[in-house]
Amino acid sequence: MSVWLLDWRVTLRVSTSSTIPGFDESALVVRAKAGDMEAFSDLVSHYERRVFRMAKQITQNDDDASDVLQETFLKAYTHLDDFQGNSKFYTWLVRIAVNEALMKLRKRRSDRTVPLDEPIDTGEDEVAREIAVWDQNPEDSYSRDELARILDESIQSLKPAYRTVFILRDIEEMSIEETAEALGLSISAVKSRLLRARLQLREKLTRQFKRKGDDAFAYL
């Protein structure tokens, strides 16, 4: 029997950077599962920004996002033995975070049905109302903060059912299958919601970024 000594007075390393030099997720997970606190701390430091951003995008609230962030990593720590490595660690983390964030939404909207169970448009009325080329690359036209504000406002205007699918698929870059599994949805439901989300965001951003000369009403 091996003796495993851990100094529980050790303070977790506080990192201000999201990038760990030579970051190797699999190796860190193996070490964390073996009880290496520093390895778990590295995983936290590497992913906390993305988990917080996702939580904030879903809950639209700093306080709720902070709670989600904390609960996500506490649960990940407690249930690390349950992580079998069949998916990426981050995908597993996202599943926990999404569940926590959706619980926040459900509590806040206790007078409503679960957001993800909302009736979804069938897509029969999918149309593109704003058809105009964009002025130029938004990245070149706006400051980082201004662009971030525009994107935040656009994504927050989506219904939760669309927003959550878009966040997982197009921001967190999970596959359709991973998104479906994380949200407990069918593949076809994910695809349908994703199309709606993408088209709605395109409409919103086109209103912001379209080339003015293409708009007959731009000078009225």
Within 10 Å of residue 27's Cβ, how many Cβ atoms? 12
Nearest alpha carbon to residue 159 among 202, 122, 115: 115
User: Considering beta carbons, is residue 79 or 109 the nearer one to other proteins?
Assistant: 79
Cβ neighbours for 1, distance < 8 A, ≥ 6 positions apart: none
Cα separation, 66 vs 150, in Å, equals: 22
Can you tell me which of 73, 90, 92, 162 binds other proteins, judged by CB under 8 A? 73
Stretch that binds other proteins, among 22-30, 61-69, 94-102, 109-117 (CB under 8 A): 61-69
Q: Is 106 in the site for other proteins (CB under 8 A)?
A: no
Cβ neighbours for 152, distance < 8 A, ≥ 6 positions apart: 57
Q: Is 33 in the site for other proteins (CB under 8 A)?
A: yes
Question: Restricting to residues 193-212, which ones interact with other proteins according to CB under 8 A?
Answer: 194-195, 198-199, 201-202, 205-206, 209
Cα separation, 117 vs 215, in Å, equals: 38
User: Considering beta carbons, is residue 181 or 203 the nearer one to other proteins?
Assistant: 203
User: x/- binding map, residues 125-144, to other proteins, per CB under 8 A?
Assistant: -xxx--xxxx--xxx-----
Q: Is 66 in the site for other proteins (CB under 8 A)?
A: yes
